[in-house]
A = this chain, B = another copy of it.
Amino acid sequence: MVANRASVHFTFVPEFSPGLEGVVAAQTAVSEVDGANGRLIYRGGYLIEDLSPVVSFEEVAYLLWNGELPNKTQLDALCRQMSAARPLKDTARGTLMAMDPQTDLMDTLRTVVSAQGATKTLTKPTQEEAIALTAVFPSIVAAAYRRRQGKEIVEPRSDLTHAANLLWMMGDEEPPVERVHFLESYLVLLADHGLNASTFAARVIASTGSDLTSCVVGAIGALKGPAHGGATFAARTMLDKIGSADNAEKWLRDAHARHERFAGFGHRVYRTYDPRAKLLREMAKAAAPELHRTAARTEELALQILHESHPERPNATNVDFWASVVLTGAGIPKEMFTSLFATSRVAGWTAHVLESLADLRIIRPASVWTGPPPGKKPVPLASR
């Protein structure tokens, strides 16, 4: 919530707000989701629609970590650091090779990141570590993807950007520039989003004084859930089931009659159209024309059906719906979607952890006891 800090000190909240909805858990200058007005603000005060057309993922990561956009010298230095951190360490490579190639990509990512960041003694999170962890995500995701297909791992190239490297390591040839552009836009738009569940998980872990890898590994686990990062996969799966614009009405009416939720609609915070969804929608037609036709018709009808049955609810399209189309246009298969989300959001996770260090306090909430009153005496095993 955007608030005048001097004037707002106390408010009346329910004792237990399920899911901590509306409960303030942090002060942050990394990003702000202004749900009422459909605005997403990145660090420094940039609206996402102003920022995304002019910056690369590397620039956004720099912004989230440092509070300002880099100049050419700073950006070059960052790119060199990321390039050096892209190869997997022996430990991480050995771990990847020990895993079943058909493992869920998020499980592989969780495990290999944990191995890549393992140290001999506890380290306090630093920006250098944030850069190194962010840099290695495409290498892990692409290597795991190629192993699934029984292909050799492709090494990163120092002459390519972060987004281009990901496509390069996935494929067998030079990635087409338009695909790199779609992927880049996706990575910029998803890089941070307030106190979403995975970022909050990272902050909870950081609050004990733990290391950055532990925070990132926990966040990967949170992102994996279908109510969070898994939603992009679900949106694409729904579009696959619908199959064509002509079939959208029948499919959606039938699904609605079965009380099935439409994937890609509704959000905890936004009460109007998600600005990221808007930007991705504009890009979707060029990215994947065929899928765009199905998606556009699906969106139109889904919003209509949802409005008919619950006119009081805000039910705008969320980022996952149009992200699934743009990622498809970037040449990303849907089983990689959640790990691509992680590849973007790791910039935000690490920025939040680094910010939280300035005033670290263990996050240890209270709970309400719903069990019986204390004092029941245990019966020894022999008498049970």
Cβ distance A118 to chain B, nearest Cβ, rounded Å:
4
Instruction: Tell whether, in the assembled complex, residue A104 and residue B75 are in contact, meaning their CB atoms are under 8 Å apart.
Output: no
Across the interface, which residues of B come within 8 angstroms of A5, CB to CB?
A: 368, 370
Across the interface, which residues of B come within 8 angstroms of A98, CB to CB?
A: 90-91, 93-95, 97-98, 115
Q: Give complex CA distance A198, B55 in Å.
A: 37
Q: Give complex CA distance A217, B381 in Å.
A: 33
Contact of A367 among B25, B46, B110 (CB under 8 A): B25
Instruction: Tell whether, in the assembled complex, residue A99 and residue B118 are in contact, meaning their CB atoms are under 8 Å apart.
Output: yes
Q: Give complex CA distance A215, B43 in Å.
A: 29
Across the interface, which residues of B come within 8 angstroms of A70, CB to CB?
A: 381, 384
A-B contact pairs, 14 of them (CB 8 A): A47-B375, A51-B378, A54-B378, A54-B381, A55-B381, A95-B99, A102-B120, A107-B117, A197-B204, A198-B208, A205-B225, A208-B225, A208-B229, A217-B218
The stretch of A7-15, A132-140, A158-166, A316-324 that contacts the partner chain: A7-15
Q: Give complex CA distance A190, B332 in Å.
A: 45
Instruction: Tell whether, in the assembled complex, residue B370 and residue A230 are in contact, meaning their CB atoms are under 8 Å apart.
Output: no
The stretch of A16-24, A172-180, A291-299 that contacts the partner chain: A16-24
Which residues of chain A from 13 to 69 have a CB within 8 Å of any chain B CB? 13-16, 18-30, 32, 34, 39, 41, 43-47, 50-51, 54-55, 59, 69
Which residue of chain B lies nearest to A222 when distances are taken between CB atoms in the complex?
B205
A residues sitting closer than 8 Å to B (CB atoms) are 1-3, 5, 8-16, 18-30, 32, 34, 39, 41, 43-47, 50-51, 54-55, 59, 69-72, 75, 90-91, 93-95, 97-100, 102-104, 106-108, 110-111, 114-115, 117-122, 194-198, 200-201, 204-211, 213-215, 217-230, 268-269, 359-382, 384
Contact of A19 among B19, B54, B363 (CB under 8 A): B363
Across the interface, which residues of B come within 8 angstroms of A108, CB to CB?
A: 118
